[in-house]
Structure 1
Amino acid sequence: MTAASTPELEADRQALIALIKEEAVFHGDFTLSSGKKATYYVDMRKLTLDHRAAPAIGRIILDLIRDVPGISSVGGLTLGADPIANSVMHESARTDAPLDAFVVRKEPKDHGRGRQIEGADVAGKRVIVVEDTSTTGQSALKAVEVLRRDGADVVAVAVIVDRKTGAQAAVEAAGLQWLAAIDLDDLGLDAQ
């Protein structure tokens, strides 16, 4: 559990937790992107793409990364990271330290400029990978691999919901800082 730095941001965080519990936690039998089985699924795309939650997500992630110096942009593996990066970019435009956003494609384009990273130029820049939920950390680490290959200095991975199932250890083993806004304790769920 990570408390926000101001009462207003903590109110945003608590409102987001309530929305997640009400609208984004589904119970049943699910296979996660990692291949692991779970009895619940946290579908953050329902909220990262929702007008009620997106601005708060931007503010919460900005607060989460506030102490990481010299960041120029945020983004991650498409599709989960895209709306988060956009929310952060838009909310940061209201500050004295605006951030740009980038998208990491799963594969390079086979036409045009053949790019795998779209948006902000990341070469030689300090960047943070964002993700909606994380189980093993492999999606974030795939984005990190592509970003490093393109010359980015990836310094952290920031997630909205940490499933507490090994992602933090995997990310930290890759030499990156792990930042999570909400975890299973906040949602009243057990790690699986």
Structure 2
Amino acid sequence: MTDTTAARARLRELIQELAVVHEKVTLSSGKEADYYIDLRRVTLHHEASALVGQVMLDMLDDAGIQFESAGGLTMGADPVGTAVMHAAGQRGRNIDAFVVRKAQKTHGMARQVEGPDVAGRAVVVLEDTSTTGGSALTAIEGVRRAGGNIQAVAVIVDRDTGSKERIEAEAGVPYLFAFGKDELGLA
């Protein structure tokens, strides 16, 4: 599927069908919600994964974001980075993926950012969904310490709970999202 509109529509359907769980939950931020968006059910799905890569890459391209590598805090961002890498490869573009650990390793190479080196490279920090922006900010901190130049933060679903404002204010980079909660019929 190469048409952006069709890819977005199908991905939205899959998110609504596979990822949205209507029940009271406590989010990783500690906040409570009446629904949970389990995007790993989408990012690791045989059909949806390719759509994630296509939609995210199209969104970043449409925004004029130039980058050489994409990734974020393990584990929500891992399949998103891989999907973007593969979508770019299908278009003849060389975009690497990376993984950011919550804390720097104390053994081996003692790295916090794994994968091809991000030092001196233009990178995008990815996330599946964001509530407070905390995971993306942790990833940004790790990538900046590793020498990466953050161009933007991009998420699949924004919960409209302040992540965009917090990330743009604290990290000074644009925050993009493919779908808002309203597009998914969530209040």
Shorter-normalised TM-score: what interval?
over 0.9
SS of the counterpart of 2:76?
coil
Alignment-mate amino acid for residue 114 of structure 2: E
Give the unaligned 5+ runs of structure 2: none
* 1:57-72 mapped onto 2 (5 Å cutoff): 57-66=52-61, 67-72=63-68
SS of the counterpart of 2:35?
strand
Q: CA deviation at 1:29?
A: 1.2
Identical columns (%): 51
Once the two structures are superposed, residues 150-189 of structure 1 have per-residue CA deviations (whole angstroms, 9 ceiling, x without a partner) of: 1111120000000000000011102110110011111010
**Separation of aligned partners in 1, 2:54 and 2:116:** 20
SS of the counterpart of 1:115?
coil
Once the two structures are superposed, residues 107-133 of structure 1 have per-residue CA deviations (whole angstroms, 9 ceiling, x without a partner) of: 122321111111121111110000000
**Separation of aligned partners in 2, 1:54 and 1:77:** 18
- Report the equivalent of 2:69: 73
- Bigger share in helix: 2
TM-score, normalized by length of structure 2? 0.95
- Bigger share in strand: 1
SS of the counterpart of 1:164?
coil
Which of 49, 52, 58 does residue 54 from structure 1 map onto?
49
Alignment-mate amino acid for residue 138 of structure 1: G
**Separation of aligned partners in 2, 1:124 and 1:77:** 19
Segments of 4+ in structure 1 off by > 4 A? none
Which of 160, 163, 169 does residue 159 from structure 2 map onto?
163
1:183 aligns with 2:180: yes
SS of the counterpart of 1:71?
coil
Alignment-mate amino acid for residue 83 of structure 1: P
**Separation of aligned partners in 2, 1:69 and 1:80:** 22
* 1:3-152 mapped onto 2 (5 Å cutoff): 8-66=3-61, 67-152=63-148
TM-score, normalized by length of structure 1? 0.92
**Separation of aligned partners in 2, 1:70 and 1:167:** 22
SS of the counterpart of 2:176?
strand
| 2:65 and 2:151 in contact (8 A); partners too | no
C-alpha RMSD of the superposition:
1.4
Give the unaligned 5+ runs of structure 1: 1-6
Once the two structures are superposed, residues 46-69 of structure 1 have per-residue CA deviations (whole angstroms, 9 ceiling, x without a partner) of: 110111100010000100111434
How many equivalent pairs are there?
Answer: 185
